[in-house]
Amino acid sequence: MKNIDEPHHVSVRNHDVPPSRYASTGSYLHNPGSAPLQYETLGQVLRAAADRSPGRRALRSRHEGVSMTYEELLDQADALGCGLRARGLRRGDRLGVWAHNCAAWPLALVAAARVGLIPVAINPVYEKPELSFCLKKTGVRALLIGDRLPSRDYHRQLCELVPELAAAAPEDLRARDFPELRLVVTAGKEALPGTITCDSLIKDYEKSSKNAVTAYGAEISPDDGCIIHFTSGTTGDPKAALDSHFGIVNNSYFIGRRNILHEGDHTVCVQVPIFHALGSVITVLTALRHGAGLVLAGPTYSVSANADALYEDK
């Protein structure tokens, strides 16, 4: 039996509009449950969550030694988003994220939502042919790559796929096979050949992002694309699925309520990979939507790291 608080249909209209108008203005019916669907952007609801509890811890990445409050998370995400827009990205451009679980992943999700970019969640274990397909399929304009792990060297693999990267100016990549890809950002501390660091973008814009992010946010509609996930592909190529701000805002709201994240202060251990919808939407964005704290147990799945996080971070 379906819970009456769950949406039966997805609406693309403001729930204040009289139901009689839906027949002529849209193809969707409004949720008949007790909680109305919210016609807002993800950036708006994340701003509201930060305003409710600015000093609450939003994120801790145990393996990186990084911790930030909701106020710090939003400020850094806004600076990152404004830095990307200042380097030529426009509303609707794709920001690929090819990385294991790290603090830069939630930052990228929030940054994109705040300034009108669309993050593309890319499996960190993709080999060159799979990565090539995803970059071309979605027209990625900027790519955020993870710091090197003992088992994964994102920059080396990318240089093999995009040989122009090693000699490129950090903010003006010109690749024959990937003409839309212009910028590569690394989540690590070191600016590798052809890249700039996520930290440097944040530092450059952390004091001047407030007015810009307001202007960028005004461009975004709840019906705009919010995030792209790839299916596993089954027997063919992966399919790129685009979710709207409206869908993510309401999915994260109802998922959070079902998991009682709206009651009290909760801390969520992130064990699943963030590139998956279970990680990005159901875990990370749902927690942030309801003001819960996120703990990244490790860069990849580890029973011991998860146990340590559950014990030490309660």
Q: CB–CB of 258/282 below 8 Å?
A: no
At position 169, the amino acid (one-letter code) is: A
User: What's the pLDDT score for residue 30?
Assistant: 62
Strands (DSSP E) found in 187-277 = 196-197, 225-230, 240-244, 267-270
Is the pTM value of this prediction over 0.85?
A: yes
What are the distances in angstroms from CA 146 to CA 80, 161, 185, 190, 284? 16, 16, 9, 11, 18
CA distance 140 to 230: 13
What pLDDT, in 10s, does the model give residues 65-90? 999 999 999 999 999 999 999 999 99
Q: Which residues contact 28 (CB under 8 A, 6 or more apart)?
A: 9, 10, 11, 12, 13, 22
- Closest to 115 measured CA to CA, from 85, 88, 139: 85
Instruction: Report how far residue 19's alpha carbon sits from residue 273's, in angstroms, rounded to the nearest whole number.
Output: 40
Question: What's the confidence (pLDDT) of residue 18?
Answer: 41
Q: What is the pLDDT of residues 92-137, one digit of tens each?
A: 999 999 999 999 999 999 999 999 999 999 999 999 999 999 999 9
The rounded mean pLDDT for the chain is: 89
Greater model confidence, 10 or 146: 146
Domains of the chain: 42-312 (3.40.50.12780)
CB 250 within 8 A of CB 147: no
Q: What percent of the chain has pLDDT over 70?
A: 89
| Distance separating alpha carbons of residues 153 and 160, to the nearest angstrom | 11
